[in-house]
Amino acid sequence: MTDSDYPESYVNTHWVAGHIDDPRVRLVEIIWGASPVFGKPAYDNQHIPGAIAWDFESDLQDSVRRDVIDQTGLEALFSRSGVTPESTVVLYSGLNNLLATYAFWLLKIYGHSHLSLLDGDRQKWLDEGRQTTQENPLVTPTSYHAREPDWSLRSSREDVLGSIDEANHLLIDARSVEMYSGLDKAGAARGGHIPGAINLAALRETNPDGSFKAWRVPTVKAGGTFKSAIELQIMFDSLGITADKELITYCVRGGLSTHAWFVLTQLLGYPKVREYDRSWAEWGNSPDTPIVTGEQPYAEEC
């Protein structure tokens, strides 16, 4: 595959290597706290030259409101990161880019025009033995003004409730089979899935001691890069996930589901896809939301 075969929404490692010193490009690694594998320690140890770090929780979410950052927060983040409306922001992370696709979805809401994902994630860059650094880049702050947010890309709990049993709506559960079935509650009070949801099943890999290692998603190849559009279309068609329906993606906290959202909207061009980013963390802890375990749906009383 050559550079010209890539849509604007994602770029390969060769492209990034050729644009490390391009002042029009801002590389961003999305990290998660103090995780030694995909958090600040990993970034500090080695990252792509020129890449700055944004934390999934402290930079992209508002801990007080327990919501995504608002427009003011987004503008402050972009301004201190040296981003202008003309900048091409290239996002990447560990975990098959699950943190990066969340950031991509959020920045799409706020209308940043030039936005790409590094195909293959952080590990792809490292596996190819490409240049890394421990140095933090020098950044010249800007004064960024975001567009009015496009909330049509986001689904609320009420939107999900209204979509259940609607013939032209379809819910996509991007979690594991164990979470979908209810065997694993994913840290919530209740386990199962939203009625009518189709499982685009991810595989949870563990270390020998049983601790979490990685998520493997069905939309990427063994090396971490995306499957071809033909392969992806065949897979979604086989699940009945078609472009004529209004789709809502969800998972536990928005990582797996924004990855599915990215594939559907940016690689396959599905026109009507919303992300329910509060996902099971909200739905599974709400006492009155309908849930299916096995075959029978139920809704617990308050």
Active site residues: 251
The amino acid at residue 179 is M
CA atoms within 13 A on the CB side of 284: 25
Exposed/middle/buried for residue 171 (C-beta within 10 Å: 0-12, 13-18, 19+): buried
* Dist CA 278 CA 268 (whole Å): 24
The amino acid at residue 210 is G
**In contact, 40 and 136? CB cutoff 8 Å:** no
* Dist CA 201 CA 82 (whole Å): 38
CB atoms within 10 A of CB 209: 6
CA atoms within 13 A on the CB side of 85: 7
**In contact, 68 and 106? CB cutoff 8 Å:** yes
* Dist CA 244 CA 114 (whole Å): 27
Tokens representing residue 104 in the block: 């991509």
* Dist CA 201 CA 40 (whole Å): 29
H or E segment and range at residue 135: none
H or E segment and range at residue 54: strand 52-55
All residues at 6 or more sequence positions from 5 whose CB lies less than 8 Å from its CB, including other chains: none
Rg, Å, the chain Cα set: 19
